[in-house]
Amino acid sequence: MSSEPLLSYREVVAGYTGPVVGPVSFDLHPGDVLGLVGPNGCGKSTLIGALTGASRVFAGEVVRGTGVSIGYQRQRPVRDADVPLRADELLHLTGADAEPPESLRPLLGKRVDRLSGGQFQLLTVWACLGGEAQVVVLDEPTNNMDPAAVGALTDLLQASRGDRAVLVVTHDARFLAGVSARILEVGR
């Protein structure tokens, strides 16, 4: 394990007009998968917002390792029905140059606006994991996924471990167990 974390939260208190969650501390090293779990409204996405700039840090600090890049998959990825983009084109545009896993190959020639919600969700996860980011943030990645897609997502995360770390917000405990994630319970 590298001595310098890729990402550190140090006593972070985050929110919007006022604090919502914290203080929270953790370090992410290469190969780590950390699951943020807790009830709806407890501040899991607010903690991610402290990294992406969507929320405000009231106390503590979020520290990126030197030169560390972040990939972020939103809870509800946006797809525009007016843009006739194929899945392989989307992956190319997002910089996901790694060879997609077998489970995604049948989708590559299809238009993004014609994929199911679960297929699109899986594609956007791979758009992050197949790129160069050293830290990948996945906000509720199992949304819209049937059990087969969750299994494919588990395989994607297991195969992409190594030099990167993954921060996952989810309510799906079975999924987290399948990717051998550390768990951080977030509460009010």
How many Cα atoms sit within 13 Å of 11 on the Cβ side? 2
Paired with 9 in beta bridges are 26, 62
Q: What is the pTM of this model?
A: 0.84
In angstroms, the CA 95 to CA 12 distance is 31
pLDDT in tens, 19-57: 999 899 999 999 898 998 888 888 888 999 999 889 999
| CATH code assigned at 24 | 3.40.50.300
pLDDT in tens, 47-86: 999 998 899 999 999 999 999 989 888 766 666 666 688 8
pLDDT in tens, 136-160: 999 888 877 778 878 888 887 777 6
Among 163, 40, 58, CA closest to 49:
58
Residue 152 domain-assigned? yes
Residue with tokens 């588990």: 154
Residue 2 domain-assigned? no
- Provide the number of structural domains found in the chain: 1
Residue 58 domain-assigned? yes
User: Residue 160: which domain range?
Assistant: 7-185
Residue 1 domain-assigned? no
